[in-house]
Structures are given as C-alpha cells and as structure tokens.
C-alpha cells in the first residue's frame, strides 16, 4: 500500500484516491521571467517521479502543472528589458519546456496559464465577496479576510495570533489585518490589466492557483505539491480561498519537497547563489542531474556540490555498465526485485532506497555475466524496467557511456605528435576514437607496449576510458 507524508497532518498516510483507480494531482509550476534553476528542476523531477510511480501502479493520473505568466517579477523584468510581458513569458516558457524535456520530465495533462484563467479568477473572487470572506479596499484592491477562516494556519501548524506576531507584512491603509492578502490588484499606469467588477487590474498570485486547480480538477482533489517555500503563505492561502469558496475540503494530501542548498544556504535567485539548468547541463548529462536529484529523499535537503554531481555521474555509469553488452531478450520482470523496489517507492517515494535496489541488481547482473549471460540478460530487463519508473536507464548504454550527447574534449589526434594541450572543446567524433583504438590494438599486436600505453593515456586525459574485453576493446566517457 502506498503511503505518502501529508504536510497537512504531518504524518504518513495510506493513499486512497477520491475516485477508485483515478488520481488528480496539481503542482505549482514556474513563474516564467528567467531560466529554470536547479531548485526548479528538483520540484519538476520529484513530481515527475510521483507521476511515473502512480501510473506504474496502474492509476489513471490527471496531472496539472500551472504556469504563472503574470506577476510583479514578470512586469518588472519586462519593463527593465523594454519589452511586452507576453514576449518575455513566451521566451521563457519555451526555454522551460526545453530544459524539462532535456531532464526527461513527462508533460502534464494540462498546463494552464494564469492569463488564460482571468474569468475563473474573477468568478472565484466574487464568490468570496458574496460569502463575506473578502472585502474591497479603498484603493480598488480586493483582499481576503483571514479572520473569517477558522482554520487559517493549519498547514503551517501555527495559530493565527502567532502568525500575526511574526508577520513582516505592514498594515496598509485599506487592509484590515497584516495577514490579509490581495486577491485582485488595481491597475497601475503602464502595467497589464484586465476588466473586473472592481475596476481594471490583475489577479494576486495565490488566487491564480486556486482558480486554475479547481477549474482543471474540481473543487476537491487528491494531491497538491510544490516546494517547501510555498507551504506558507502560498499554499496556506490556497486552502483558505478554496475551502471558503466551496465549503468543503480542498485537497486530501499536501506534498512538499525540500530545498536545494549551496554551502548550507537555500539556493534561490534572491540570494544570488543559484545555478541554471542550462549551466549545469553544459557539464553533466541530463540523466546525471536527474540521478543526483533522486539520490536524496524528496522531503530532505539536497546539497548542490560538484563532488555530489561527480558521485552521481559515477553511480549512473555503474548502472549503465551493468547493462552494457547484454543481449536483447524478452523476459518478465523478476518479482523479487520488483517487490523490494515497490516497498521502497511505496514508502513515501523513497528514491534513495529504490536506487539501492538497482545497485544490488546491477551487482547480481555483473556476477551472472561471467557464468550465465542469458540469466544476466533477463535481469537486465528488470533493471531497465525498474529504472524506468524513476526516469532512468532508458538510454542505450553505448550511447550514454560514450557521451554522444554532451560536449567532450576532442581534436584530430595524430599517432605521434598530439598532446592534450592541443585538444579543444567540441563533440568528439566516434570515428576518431575508433581509429585510435585500432592503432592501439595494432601497436599491442606488434608488442609496441609503449605506443599502446601512450594512446590509452591520451584518450584518458581527454575523458575516454578503455576496457579490454574478450570481444575487443570498448570505451566510455569518464
């Protein structure tokens, strides 16, 4: 039975969908004014694995991941660039899709945009006004009245007075309480706006997700996810808005992934210590980045460091090396291994433990490879299948180990004069490597061991490792 840690109740709970066999899940997506950084990548990979595992267990999953394409940061960046905000968001939506595709993120069922949900947002705000959970301020803004919602603070596990005492929000002239938050912002000169019963303006951030989630999934759905930084106030406010409007429970299970840290500080744009996905992918294959993210439990911190990415790279290489050269066979998944893997994933998506199962399986494949290649090949099918539930090990082992999709150190290497200093960054042609391997093989047959060693060392310094097997010399990226 799948058990998920519910941030609302602060304990693991058995997962029972509202409708048998169907799961409805919403995850807060990107605010598109810049490139995705590793913190964003973690959210996307974590809930991609949740999606994959739910589908692997046979659920029909409707997955909604929104795009915030209007807010203060977007308006400010567009003004700084001197461009229309639509052009800015279109550019970064395309970049986001490219980054997510590179990381193997499956597309959501629906990807609503805030600017396309204005009518739903206006209707939801009107409902809150009609039920006296909201009020119009004198400046044309509309606010949510937190005092009217008895359960406010439940997700943050704090009482209203405690939140108020610790609030940094200054009381504005037309706000009743420092914790009251804006639902509709009155238009300012030069800013995008839409018509509403309260005058031209634009939605507040929190109301956008309530409107988009309930439009796509209904007023009550199974799972809502996002980063830990969204827990308060964003998700707290979503609960208050949505449950006040509907009169019943909004979401059954709340999931939050932990922060990405750099030198024990949260990675974020505001701190200036973030790395974009594009920057990281210049140095590491996308699957290495994905493996790195899954090597820590989703609720814990993830420490970004080059040594941790290098460890992920070496670990992924071990798994692909176990699959390398195995003959293609048709075989069922070995139930014993499936059971162990399933126990790990059903325990709140424990990916580190699931990866440990894959390494045990790889060791068994390597042991069997010598004495029973057919048995090793059958286990290879199981390894590839279980890895697929994590979005791993679906590439061709030769392709990945030889690094054909990333930049390598390369040059036309001559037989006797080329040094590492002559190498330049480019995509190394496979033919080039094979020529050198053939030259090394010929040198070894002629008992010219020095030349053979020189070629091996030259390739190794360029990041190419050779392995001599009974079937000949094979190579892979370091």
* SS3 assignment for 110-165: ECCEHHHCHHHHHHHHHHHHHCCCEEECCCCCEEECHHHCCCCCCCCCCCHHHHHH
CATH 1.20.120.640 boundaries in the chain:
302-396
Class at the top of the CATH hierarchy for domain 302-396:
mainly alpha
208 is in an annotated binding site: no
d(CA 329, CA 461): 36
Structure tokens at 425: 């960054």
Question: Class of 3-266 per CATH?
Answer: alpha beta
Give residue 435's pLDDT: 73
| Nearest 10 degrees: Cα torsion 126, 127, 130, 133 | -100
5 strand-pairing partners: 12
* Interatomic CA distance for residues 146 and 176, integer angstroms: 9
Q: Which of 52-56, 102-106, 345-349, 413-417 has the lowest mean pLDDT?
A: 413-417
Say whether the peptide bond before residue 233 is cis (omega within 30 degrees of 0): yes
Helix (H), strand (E) at residue 17: none
The helix (run of H) or strand (run of E) holding residue 391 is: none
Query: What is the C-alpha radius of gyration for the chain, rounded to an integer number of angstroms?
Result: 27
- Segment 325-340 mean pLDDT: 93
Residue 321 has pLDDT above 80, yes or no: yes
Report residue 89's pLDDT band, with 50, 70 and 90 as the boundaries: very high
Those residues with Cβ within 8 angstroms of residue 196's Cβ, 6 or more apart along the chain or in another chain: 122, 125, 184
The single residue listed with the structure tokens 């150190």 is 409
The sheet carrying 260-262 orders its strands as 265-266, 260-262, 302-303
Please report the pLDDT score of residue 138 as a whole number: 83
Give 346's Cβ-side CA count (13 Å radius): 13
At residue 426 the predicted structure's pLDDT band, cuts being 50, 70 and 90, is: very low
State mean pLDDT over 67-80.
Answer: 96
Please give the mean pLDDT across all residues of the chain.
89
pLDDT tens digits for range 232-279: 999 999 999 999 999 999 999 999 999 999 877 777 766 777 789 999
- Angstrom distances, CA of residue 462 to CA of 22, 203, 359, 458: 50, 54, 28, 6
Distance between CA atoms of 111 and 441, rounded to whole angstroms? 54
408 pLDDT exceeds 50?
Answer: no
* Cβ–Cβ under 8 Å, residues 68 and 205: yes
Q: For residues 84 and 302, what is the distance between their CA atoms, to the nearest angstrom?
A: 36
Q: Does 14 belong to an annotated binding site? A: no
Concatenate the DSSP letters of all residues of 239-287 into one string: HHHHHHHHSS--EEEEEEEPPEEETTEE--TTTT---BHHHHHTTS-HH
Residue of higher predicted confidence among 380 and 328: 380
Which pLDDT score, from 0 to 100, does residue 242 have? Answer: 98
Query: Mean pLDDT, to the nearest integer, of 298-321?
Result: 95
The Cβ of residue 272 has, within 10 Å, a number of other Cβ atoms equal to 7
438 — pLDDT class (breaks 50, 70, 90): confident
Predicted local distance difference test score (pLDDT) of residue 226: 98
Q: What are phi and psi of 27, to 5 degrees?
A: -130, 135
Residue 103, judged by CB atoms within 10 A of its CB (0-12, 13-18, 19+), counts as buried
Check: CB of residue 187 under 8 Å from CB of residue 141.
no
Residue 209 marked ligand-binding? yes
Residue pair 24/259 in contact by the 8 Å Cβ criterion: no
Query: Which has the closest alpha carbon to 477: 314, 355, 366, 327?
Result: 314
Residues of the chain with CATH 3.40.50.620: 3-266
Q: Is 269 annotated as a binding residue?
A: yes
Q: Is 310 annotated as belonging to a binding site?
A: no
Query: What confidence tier does 404 reach under pLDDT thresholds 50, 70, 90?
Result: low
């Amino acid at each position: 039975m799948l058990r998920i840690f519910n941030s609302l109740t602060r304990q693991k709970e058995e997962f029972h969908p509202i409708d048998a066999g169907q799961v409805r899940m919403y995850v807060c997506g990107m605010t598109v004014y810049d490139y995705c950084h590793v913190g964003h990548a973690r959210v996307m990979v974590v809930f991609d694995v949740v999606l994959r595992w739910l589908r692997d267990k046979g659920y029909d999953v409707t997955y909604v991941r929104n795009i915030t394409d209007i807010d203060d940061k977007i308006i400010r960046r567009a003004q700084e660039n001197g461009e229309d905000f639509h052009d800015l968001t279109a550019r970064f939506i395309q970049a986001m899709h490219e980054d997510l595709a590179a990381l193997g993120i499956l597309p959501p069922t629906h990807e609503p945009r805030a600017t396309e949900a204005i009518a739903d947002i206006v209707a939801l705000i009107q409902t809150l006004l009609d039920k006296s959970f909201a009020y119009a301020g004198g400046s044309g803004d509309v606010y949510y009245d937190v005092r009217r919602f008895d359960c406010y603070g439940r997700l943050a596990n704090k009482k209203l007075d405690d939140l108020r005492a610790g609030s940094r929000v200054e009381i504005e002239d037309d706000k009743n309480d420092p914790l009251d938050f804006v639902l509709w912002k009155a238009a300012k000169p030069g800013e995008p706006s839409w018509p509403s019963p309260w005058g031209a303006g634009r939605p507040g951030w929190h109301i956008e997700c309530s409107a988009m989630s309930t439009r796509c999934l209904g007023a009550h759905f199974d799972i809502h996810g996002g980063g830990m930084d969204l827990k308060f106030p964003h998700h707290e406010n979503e609960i208050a808005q949505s449950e006040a409007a509907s009169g019943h429970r909004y979401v059954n299970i709340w999931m939050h992934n932990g922060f990405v840290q750099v030198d024990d500080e949260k990675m974020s744009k505001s701190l200036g210590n973030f790395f974009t996905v594009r920057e990281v992918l210049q140095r590491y294959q996308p699957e290495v980045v994905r493996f790195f993210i899954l090597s820590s439990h989703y609720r814990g911190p993830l420490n970004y460091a080059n040594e941790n990415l290098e460890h992920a790279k070496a670990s992924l290489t071990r798994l692909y090396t176990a699959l390398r050269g195995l003959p293609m066979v048709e075989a069922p998944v070995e139930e014993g291994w499936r059971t162990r893997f399933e126990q790990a994933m059903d325990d709140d998506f424990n990916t580190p433990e699931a990866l440990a199962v894959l390494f045990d399986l790889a060791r068994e494949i390597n042991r069997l490879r010598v004495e029973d290649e057919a048995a090793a090949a059958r286990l290879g099918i199981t390894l590839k299948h279980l890895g697929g539930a994590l979005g791993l090990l679906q590439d061709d082992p030769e392709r990945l180990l030889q690094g054909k999709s990333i930049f390598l150190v390369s040059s036309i290497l001559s037989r006797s004069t080329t040094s590492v200093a002559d190498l330049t960054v480019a995509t190394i042609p496979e033919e080039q490597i094979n020529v050198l391997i053939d030259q090394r093989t010929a040198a070894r047959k002629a008992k010219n061991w020095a030349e053979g060693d020189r070629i091996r060392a030259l390739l190794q310094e360029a990041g190419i490792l050779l392995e001599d097997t009974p079937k000949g010399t094979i190579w892979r990226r370091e």
